[in-house]
Amino acid sequence: MDNQFIIQKFGFLGNDFLDEFQKHAVLADIKSKTEIVREGQKNKYVPFLLKGSIKVFTLNDGRELIYYYIKESDSCLMTFSSIFTDYISRVYAVAEEDSEALLVPVSIMHEWLLRFPEINKLFYREYDRRFSEVMNMVNDAVFHRLDKRVLNYIKQQISATGNNPIKITHREIANNLGTSREVVSRVLKKIESDGDILQTKEGIKVAVNDNVRLV
């Protein structure tokens, strides 16, 4: 168990809490593409990600709407918030890559909220971060053209995984942005001709510096 992570994340709650966390948290390896929880399922754990990335989304007519990505040292706001209601998940969560997480039973977390009320600071920090991400997503969908949305999505994937180029199919992009694969393929060709990306057998590569064209 990553003691340095635990101290950095929860040290402000004191030694008694750190002892409790060590006692109840479970270290889990999660394989890429593993479904962690689905909509309507009862949440059993609150995850704290040590490495990897997890996609949190909802489905509508088979199309995904991404809410946010859980990155290293993050937790899942939607799982956390279910503690205050019925423990039922309102989202899907799937590992984007091989990941490692500390899992805390929701019943234990509920107990901690009463015994260690300052833990609510974690919830409010997570809420502020996720609210900003959702607002950015809404602004992207309303105010940006599809080519800008596709490019932003690819950059988001690179940021989440740390991989550039990134292995992702045109259909995956289409599903996540609520459009068709054919439309995404045309848009990617345009973005590539503009010099913002390069499509290779290794995946889609994005210029690290926006002022640099890929040729």
| pTM metric for this prediction | 0.66
- In this prediction, residue 165 carries a pLDDT of 87
- In this prediction, residue 173 carries a pLDDT of 87
Higher per-residue confidence, 122 vs 16: 16
Domain boundaries, the chain: 3-116, 143-206
- In this prediction, residue 188 carries a pLDDT of 92
Residue 215: pLDDT over 60 = no
Average pLDDT of span 140-159: 79
- In this prediction, residue 137 carries a pLDDT of 67
What's the CA gap between 98 and 202, in Å, rounded? 18
Query: How many CB atoms neighbour CB 18 within 10 A?
Result: 16
Percentage of the chain lying above the pLDDT 70 cut: 91
The full 3-state SS of the chain, as one line of letters, equals: CCHHHHHHHHHHHCHHHHHHHHHHCEEEEECCCCEEECCCCECCEEEEEEECCEEEEEEECCEEEEEEEECCCCECHHHHHHCCCCCECCCEEEECCCEEEEEEEHHHHHHHHHHCHHHHHHHHHHHHHHHHHHHHHHHHHHHCCHHHHHHHHHHHHHHHHCCCCECCCHHHHHHHHCCCHHHHHHHHHHHHHCCCEEEECCEEEECCCCCCCCC
What's the CA gap between 110 and 76, in Å, rounded? 15
Average pLDDT of span 57-67: 79
Residue 178: pLDDT over 80 = no
- Tens digit of each residue's pLDDT (9 = 90 or more) over 10-33: 888 889 999 999 999 999 999 999
Residue 143: pLDDT over 60 = no
* CATH code at 143-206: 1.10.10.10
**Can you tell me which residue has the tokens 């940021």?**
159
Beta-bridged to residue 205, according to DSSP, are: 198
Check: CATH 2.60.120.10 for 3-116?
Answer: yes
Residue 214: pLDDT over 70 = no
Chain mean pLDDT for the chain: 84
Higher per-residue confidence, 42 vs 176: 42
Residue 175: pLDDT over 90 = no
